[in-house]
Amino acid sequence: MDDVRTDVAKVTRKGSGGPQTAAELKASVLAELTYSVGKIPEVATSRDWYLAVAFATRDLIVERWMESTNAVYADGRKRVYYLSLEFLIGRLLFDAMTNLGIAEPMEEALKELGVSLTELRRIEPDAALGNGGLGRLAACFMDSMATLSIAAHGYGIRYDNGLFRQFIRGGWQEEAPEDWLIHGNPWEFERPEYSYAIGFGGSVEMVQGDDERTRHIWHPAETVEAVAYDTPIIGWRGKHVNTLRLWSARALDPFKLDAFNAADYVAAFSDTVRAEAISKVLYPSDATPAGQELRLRQEYFFASASLLDLIRRHIKQYKDVRTLGEHAAVQLNDTHPAIAIAELMRILIDLNGLEWDEAWAIAQATFSYTNHTLLPEALESWPVPLMERLLPRHMQIIYLINAAHLDSARRRGFIDSSLLSSLSLIDEHAGRRVRMGNLAFIGSHKINGVSALHTDLMRKTVFHSLNAVYPGRITNKTNGITFRRWLMECNPGLAGIIRSTLGDHALDSAEALKGLAGYADDASMQERVAAARRAAKSVLAREVAAQLSQRIDPDAMFDVHIKRIHEYKRQLLNILETVARYNAIRANPTIEFAPRVKIFAGKAAASYTQAKLIIKLAVDVARVVNSDPTVRGLLKVVFLPNYNVSLAETIIPAVDLSEQISTAGMEASGTGNMKMALNGALTIGTLDGANVELRDLVGDENIFIFGLTAAEVEASRSQGIDSTARIAASPGLREALDEIASGVFSNDDIGRYHGLVDTLTHHDYFMVCADFDAYFATQMRVDEAWRDRKNWMRSSILNTANVGWFSSDRTIAEYASEIWNAPFKPLT
């Protein structure tokens, strides 16, 4: 679509420029059912109707897609290319209809046909293109770039199976393929005309040209074809449409006939299996050398295809690759696409004949890099032997980049050997590895963190040395969320209250939500918001009953911890408090505990054994607590499996208390906190990530902050991470750990949690024990606050009113003006 300039007037249907009536939509759906699906209404299944509605909606998007494409070519607007290994876009049907403004008339049209739009929304599978916050952020950013009419393309991988579908069997996580494409995808367009040969392995030949220049020719030993699939991404009110282009891997020769005829059927398809593995699964386990190689193949595959594609587009329009930095901005979403820097140098030098210095200037002008983590292991590094074998030309280029980089540092007076070692792209202390974070840093003109605290810590920790050499290159862009999806779409009850109170302009600008603060003390408003919350909680309660056969009370406090399972996100701290609360309820029946439902959800990486054990512990604790009548309905615990965007859309409107309890200094931003606060949840959390800005926005009295600060965590670690003394001094913690270790929650295997408790006792790196007493005390404050229903609802309304600043529209406007230098149109 991005290369086909069409006379839209010749193809658009009558009325495409404005709102569609129910009658027009009904006719369109029936036409799609007949001509695209091949069914008549009398025999159409629910899936047939879903496809017909999706195709009818897509038709309206395509018309605007063509208009947007033509406009970008006509005005020569600078393009933004967002490279991300994940795009967690979720279901698209209702989102597209909402942005087009046709959700209500479509629902009316379908009612006339005897079809439920609610049922059709459930039929659509979640696109399995991401895991957690990183991928959902990319999806929110794509929405906001379209909303602000930025000429943007998202580039990623079209995973056949995505991350995995999570099942809980016997309390343990099990993984199964997420086959979201098994019945096709009505939102995508295959573009076989845009395919690229991506090389791996082989050798590099050095040749002398007639002009006496030395040239390098890479002769790959293996070539895989990258085939484009395009999904249109429509912005708010349908004014602009961008493209999400995903790459699927295919073998150039998918079938060896000679091997097949020789009855070697496995060998006949071996090339296909090896090639297609690249786009099969998100984050294959890297616990083995083969797994590491597959991850690197994935990252290079999509980075190379994306660069070849965007440079082809640039040369087609502007003729000269030398102007790339003027007309294109490439954003690297974390370190996964960092190999793109070496790949662009190869393309510019080896394929386009540019000199080194000119090519490097173009690369730095083109790239910018978002860092999402302070965890050194998450910055990615690759063994030099693997790089030399799989990408030999790129390893040469990385060595040359590194030499120029270190020479430049020395010339500016940075001569200390330990400093130079930390600056180097090659880590010589861990078996020689290529530091992809360092490569992304020096190859970009701007590097941004994703919250004020995270950016400050970046300067002081993981990029301290690079920041000293390249001062001013690091900037902050606090993450945001698409508030229309995460409030207006997923919480129609609260959205209706906002629209009736503030008007429809509140849908255009999240800042307009501030007007709700004036109603925070209004008893009628509090009652309406409470009723909407209870309705949402009843929906979630029905979901829990359907999935787990477990009844939960919508009038209890819904205390929610929904995140990727990781030790630094401290689900363990929450579970320990749950056990301590369980003990306290039984031991002190006169204490007025607030009735609570503890709700957990999230996936553990397939090879992350400790995270899987944490899930098992949560399920074990739930089994014991939920079957104990002495708890008297004051505590329930549930773990909902297969957390994804659609499940999040059900949970988030129902949250009373949002758990954001990561070890201070380790969560870069967190966007779940923003979504839940936007929907009126109160947050319990550490001063970590965007919690700092959230506290500033909502006020100390409307958030529950506890625990060590990032500086205190660092100071505590410097004195040792053995928590034996802390445990001895905390009766509640000691009792909880003793019970877990002794098998109270694992009578089928009393030794199951010995190692876990031993780690918490003697190697408490994530400060679980260090923060336990403060966390437990703060949870008791939460109980007290819950009993004051008027004040709780006041705080809830103020949270919704004051967190509009976290809109991804604001974040993207900052990227566009301060990093990309790309034009955009603010919503008015």
Which pLDDT value is given to residue 16? 47
- From the candidates 482, 671, 683, 778, give the one annotated as an active-site residue: 671
Which pLDDT value is given to residue 451? 96
What type of residue sits at position 340?
A
Quote the DSSP letter at residue 240.
-
Quote the DSSP letter at residue 807.
B
Is 372 a catalytic site residue? yes
**817-820 contacts, C-beta under 8 A, 24 or more apart:** 818/446, 818/475, 818/477, 819/329, 819/331, 819/368, 819/446, 819/448, 819/475, 819/477, 820/78, 820/80, 820/329, 820/331, 820/368
- From the candidates 473, 569, 603, 810, give the one annotated as an active-site residue: 569
Residues of the chain with pLDDT under 50: 4-16
Closest CA to 29 of 122, 100, 90, 108: 108
Dihedrals phi, psi of 195, to nearest 5 degrees: -130, 150
Is 569 a catalytic site residue? yes
What is d(CA 335, CA 436) in angstroms, rounded to the nearest whole number?
6
Structure token digits, residue 715: 């100071």
Instruction: Please answer whether residues 241 and 68 qualify as being in contact, where contact means their C-beta atoms are separated by less than 8 angstroms.
Output: yes
DSSP string, 415-430: --HHHHHHHSSEETTS
- From the candidates 561, 675, 752, 810, give the one annotated as an active-site residue: 675
Q: How would you classify the pairing of strands 203-208 and 328-333? A: unpaired
Residue with tokens 């930390």: 422
- From the candidates 191, 346, 405, 564, give the one annotated as an active-site residue: 564
Buried b (16+ CB within 10 A) or exposed e, 475-513: ebbbbbbbbbbbbbbbbbbbbebbeeebeeebbbbbebb
Is 564 a catalytic site residue? yes
Report the run of H or E that residue 435 belongs to, with start and end: strand 433-435
What is d(CA 136, CA 586) in angstroms, rounded to the nearest whole number?
41
Rg of the chain, C-alpha, whole Å: 27
Cα of first residue to Cα of last residue in the chain, in angstroms, is: 28
Is 219 a catalytic site residue? no
Regarding pTM above 0.85, the answer is: yes
Looking from the CA of 558 toward its CB, the CA atoms found within 13 Å total 30
Which pLDDT value is given to residue 224? 97
Is 675 a catalytic site residue? yes
DSSP string, 110-147: HHHTT--HHHHHHHSPPP----SHHHHHHHHHHHHHHH
Q: Which residues contact 524 (CB under 8 A, 6 or more apart)?
A: none
CA torsion sign for 140, 141, 143, 147 is: positive
- From the candidates 563, 566, 603, 726, give the one annotated as an active-site residue: 563
**266-275 contacts, C-beta under 8 A, 24 or more apart:** 275/224, 275/225, 275/249, 275/250, 275/251
Residues in the chain: 828
- From the candidates 58, 158, 372, 435, give the one annotated as an active-site residue: 372
